[in-house]
Structure 1
Amino acid sequence: MIHISILVPLGHTSVVNIEGSYQILSDINNFLREKGREPMFQVQLAGLEPEVSQRNRMFTIAPEVLISDVKKTDLIIIPSLHGDQRHAADINREFIPWIQQQYQQGAAVASLCLGAFFLAATGLLDGKPCATHWKMAAEFRAMFPNVLLMDDRIITEEDRVFTSGGAYSYLNLLLYLVEKYAGRDIAILTAKAYGIDFDRQSQSPFIIFEGQKTHNDEPIRKIQEFIEASYQDKITVEQLSDMSALGRRSFERRFKKSTGNTVIEYIQRIKIEAAKRDFETSSKNINEVIYDVGYIDTKTFRTIFKKVTGLTPLEYRNKYNKQTINLVNE
């Protein structure tokens, strides 16, 4: 029997992650029985206190066990913790030595969405790949520079440490874990029973590039604003370095340090984000959108678009444009 501990942290935590994980993983035993196989999972909610209030006391979760009573577990699931991540880690610090000890005893550890911040606080993610919500990528990198954050990934795995991307992509990690422990046939049955998109690998189509402006480098911020206002034009690095009154090498170094992107990457991301908006809302054809965001070479645009979003321009428009969806359904 595989023992699974779903943590119930203090503070503002994703009730959906906790209940959803408990529901799905508990149902695996039923699916196994339907296949004539023995039950496999013992799922428990584990906490620091007998009752934990959530959402300003709208919900109360009563863990079945306290972690002090769990001497050995096989899989620990850390739900998303919301709000100030340093504060969330601080009020839940009593979990950390227990998680570390269980990992040393052979347990696997999985974080869901922003739960990656707390998992990283244990040190178990150092030097390993990690996924989390794309919107918190810059903050995560600043807090945990030794972790290999992979913005676009839905799931990462290394040395019994698992992470998932943003929000409801936790369902994909649950399916991944079900497949690993119970087999692909049970994972597919679970996906069908719960209507979960199976084998989704990337959260790239969902990422909204907003630019990194939390830095204090005002000249670089002004350049960012210029790029965002002039993305339809041809913009060169030389032009921007002249505007900043900095030498090119110094400008490029400061830009990368402030934004996390090279100048060229930033220009490309702004253009791609504008194209995505057009594909979602306008009736323009693919080439019209490409030209409108300042690209002449359609092949180059298509290559960059696929790299950034994980989809071709046509696939993206067909997926997100309401007019296109209606035509397909008629």
Structure 2
Amino acid sequence: MPGPLLDTLNGSPTGTVPLWLMRQAGRYLPEYRELRAEKGGFLAMAYDSEAACEITLQPIDRFGFDGAILFSDILIVPHALGQHLEFLAGEGPKLSPRLVDTALADLTPDSSRYEPIYQTVRLCRQRLPEGVTMLGFAGSPWTVATYMVAGEGSRDQHEARALAYRDPAALQAIVDAIAEQTITYLSGQIEAGAEAVQLFDSWAGSLAPDEFERWVIAPNARIVAALAERHPATPIIGFPKGAGEKLPAYARETGVKAVGVDETLDPHWVARELPEGMPVQGNLDPLLLLAGSDRLEERVTTILKAFEDRPHVFNLGHGIDRRTPIAHVERLIAAVRGWKG
């Protein structure tokens, strides 16, 4: 039976505010660190379906969240498109060859890289408690393209942004290829058992308004339309981090069922500006959760009150920091579960 998270994403809140946290399966958990020490590197665990399922379920077992987010990475898609992917200690992900130097057509795709991820979803659906929603995800084309072009993450995404101005046709080909792969990838996750999926556009905030329309809204709208045709009952959450005042246009024009909101936005403004009745997800600052000051419960209440007149999934404004104490997460859960609207 559907749980409170899935009901809320479908626009039918249950009277309680469902809760999950971006990156809830990961390094802040001692059980994750123990398993990683046993299994090895991040990418090896992501492709080990049994290990990835165990990691996905760890925060459910510990905290009882309403949603289980697939343990994986947004760079699975460029790996399947033919780039070499590795995660280097202290440096983060590296992709090669960089598409600022190499043509997309020179890569050799390998769609078999998706199968272990699908198997993780299947295993998790079999093992999740009743009422806990299985969440799949992928990176949105712009964010994934920034990594593919530069070969790594950057503070301002300058390689991809410069390519967009210098040779927009080249970037368009990359974005189009990512969009097509993402449709296939998310459709496969849904067929394997994902009950809702999220599109992460972590670097959406680096774009000027007209570039945002082309590189964020347009490809996400294409993905959402294709998934809605194949899987009309599956909610899609769009998370354009840093979108700012462009968020309402994103919500209207992409066709997503719900929007994730980062911590830089006033939740009262979001509640006024988003389409009426659209489910919203967010938006506690991950650093406030890390700090765990006396302001934590106060801010939780502010967010809950701001969104009390629309379907709301409580979450962070981005991923949980790896240094976050378990006790702070427990305080957050108690504040959300104990709130009486």
Larger radius of gyration: 1
What TM-score do you get using the length of structure 2 for normalisation?
0.30
Q: Tell me which of the two structures has the higher relative contact order, counting C-alpha pairs closer than 8 angstroms and 6 or more residues apart.
A: 2
What TM-score do you get using the length of structure 1 for normalisation?
0.31
